[in-house]
A and B are shown apart, each in its own frame.
Chain A
Amino acid sequence: MSPAETALTQSAEPAAEAAAQPRILQVRTRILKKNDEVAREMRAGFETAGVRVVNVVSSPGSGKTSLLTESLRRLRDRGLAVAAIVGDLETDNDARRLAASGAPVRQIMTHGLCHLEADMVQRELAAWEAEGLAVSSLQLLFVENVGNLVCPTSWDLGESLRVVLMSVTEGEDKPLKYPGLFNTADLVVITKSDLAEACRFDREAALSAIEQVRPGVPVLETSAVTAVGINDWLDAVCPSP
């Protein structure tokens, strides 16, 4: 078809389709814009108040609660004002475990939702304030996310630090299977190191897997049972003096 013929064909079409013509609205907006805005507002508030917020993410059973219970206990011993919020689909069992540390703890039951969103944390903090906890006087707040290695990926909770845990018992290739989430980590913690030998944990393979999905991220190794690595971990999450 010559250019002249093409032009003719094109000019003939609009008249025929004038009755139902599609119209395109260009939007190009982040779907989680609202969440990002709430998170940004919370982050600014935390920074002003000097509250460091650590969002802890992992698969279920990687040892988030055990590590945080031990951490809360030790940080309180160091004289720090610490607290924790924990998300689970059901039960307040984890809040009870964390509360054994003596720190203020609050449970969010999501009733099926697989991740925490910024406004859920914001509502909990507001309710907590109303009940008398001065959130702005805290130095460190742990947010233990719902155990899941996919869903929490894109939800910013206003945290200062996102920590992704993987235990020695769950396979060295976890990061390769869940690259999206591991790619958002500011720090990776390998937990349950006391069990490493028993489950023939291949440390080099695990470090290589982490490096393939989050090049350059710092990696720590801890055991909440033997306390190996706990002080390094606390130094990494503690507010700088």
Chain B
Amino acid sequence: MVHYDAGGGALAGSTRQLAKRQMHELSIAMRVIEMVEQEVAAAGGGSVASVSLRIGVLAGVSEGALQFAFEQAREDTVMQAATLRITHLPVQVYCPSCQAVRELPRVPPLACPVCGRSTGDLRQGTELELDCIELTETIL
């Protein structure tokens, strides 16, 4: 018994064409744009100067692809002229031997950089967050 149908219903028309090249960064850019539009509307409107994201290095997101997807997907939105700022968050793990949170200069390995103990107790590095929105508005 086989059933099938198109699963990409949320992505329509030209955006679906983009998805073929942009991979998951386009899904992320579209979510960001949706969230920013909601936040700006809730704040009474305005144009957006910048959008800041926090992305962990283990989140599997390419900055270049995300920038490109954002520029393509923001057409005709309040983000038309906005800059996308991305803060990359390094991996932090808790080391049970040192009983301390350690920042890793590189990954892999997921191991304490001080004592070498292998640890998968992640405290930072998988984030995919919309941090803040900078509005430019005229004060009356």
List chain A positions with a Cβ less than 8 A from chain B. Answer: 18-32, 34, 87, 92, 95-96, 99, 104-117, 119-120, 123-124, 127-128, 131, 150-151, 153-155, 175-176, 179-181, 183, 209, 211-217
Contact = CB atoms under 8 A, between A and B. Distances in A.
A113 B17 CA distance: 10
Contacts of B9: 120, 123
A25 B39 contact: yes
Interface in B81-115: 107-111
B27 A117 contact: yes
A96 B1 CA distance: 8
Interface of B: 1-11, 16-17, 19-20, 23-24, 27-28, 31-32, 35, 39-40, 43, 46, 49, 53-54, 57-61, 107-111, 118-120, 122, 126-139
A209 B39 CA distance: 42
Contacts of B58: 153, 179-180, 183
A29 B130 contact: yes
* Chain B interface, >50% SS class: mixed
B6 to A, nearest CB: 6
Nearest to B57: A180
B35 A31 contact: yes
Contacts of B107: 179, 213
A115 B24 contact: yes
Contact of A112 (B20, B60, B120): B20
* Chain A interface, >50% SS class: mixed
B39 A109 contact: no
Contacts of B17: 112
Given A154-B128, A213-B109, A27 B11 contact: no
A111 B8 contact: yes
A131 B132 CA distance: 44
B130 A108 contact: no
A107 B31 contact: no
A25 B138 CA distance: 16
Contacts of A215: 110-111, 118-120
Contact of B133 (A25, A113, A153, A183): A25
Q: Which of A24, A115, A175 lies at the interface centre, i.e. has the most chain B CB atoms within 10 A of its CB? A: A24
Contacts of A96: 2
Contacts of B57: 180
A176 B127 CA distance: 20
